[in-house]
Amino acid sequence: MKRPAAQDRIDEDPSGAQDADAVARTLAGDASAYDLLIGKYQRRAVSVAYRLLGNLNDAMDVCQEAYLRAYRSLESLQEPQRFGAWLMRIVSNLSLNYRRGRRVQLSLSTPDEDDGAAGLQLADEGRRERSGDDAMASRELGDQLEKAVDSLPPQQRLALILFAIEQRPQKEVAEIMECSVEMVKWNVFQARKALKAKLADYLEE
């Protein structure tokens, strides 16, 4: 029997009950339920992968692999209500593994420049829009920020991206990274400290 139209999508659900239901339906053979899960988290997954890889095509490829791996391993998911965090963990791990095979840099494009992929914004690190007269200086700062973020240790970079840029709750970041909330805080703190040190000359201007 076809479910009511209201069930044809998954809305924000802090309790995870809808995710758990969709996982159960998927395991029961309802492939459309998995499509709903991916539809709910696709934008976040691509955004995280994009910021880790700096290339939208690579991010899309990694996410497709993540969706497939998640589907194949769905039976092993012990807490289906946390499907989102579990999927982001797979995306993050695959992205970091992908990075090890080549040298990439994190794009600083703005949302309207890259097909909806959000640009890197670290206002508290001193990045501001410059006037036309300072366009060259602004570009140089952007290049240095790009290199600085790219040079961070993987765990620090991931914590910074998920918490400070994606603005995910610390508890969710901890679930994705499989560590404590205190470790998330420490990684974000160390990442910001490192960025300030690397960009000290530019931030004093």
Residue pLDDT, tens place only, 90-124: 999 899 888 765 443 333 333 333 333 333 444 33
Give the model's pLDDT for residue 46: 94
Domain boundaries, the chain: 9-104, 120-199
pLDDT at residue 138 in the model = 63
- Residue 20 confidence class, pLDDT cut points 50, 70, 90: very high
- Classify domain 120-199 at the CATH topology level: Arc Repressor Mutant, subunit A (1.10.10)
- According to the CATH classification, is domain 9-104 in 3.50.50.60? no
- Please, what is the Cα angle at 56 between 51 and 59, to 5 degrees? 70
The C-alpha atoms of residue 202 and residue 198 are separated, in whole angstroms, by: 9
Cα dihedral across residues 27, 33, 37, 43: positive or negative:
positive
pTM: predicted TM-score of the whole model, two decimal places: 0.64
The set of residues, in sequence order, having a beta carbon less than 8 Å from that of 70 and lying 6+ positions away, is 86, 87, 90
pLDDT bucket at 203, cuts 50 / 70 / 90: low
Instruction: Give the per-residue pLDDT at 162.
Output: 85
- pLDDT at position 126 is 39
Question: Which residues are CB-contacts of 150 (< 8 A; sequence separation ≥ 6)?
Answer: 54, 104, 105, 106, 157
Q: What is the pLDDT of residue 134?
A: 56
Between 202 and 126, name the one with better pLDDT.
202
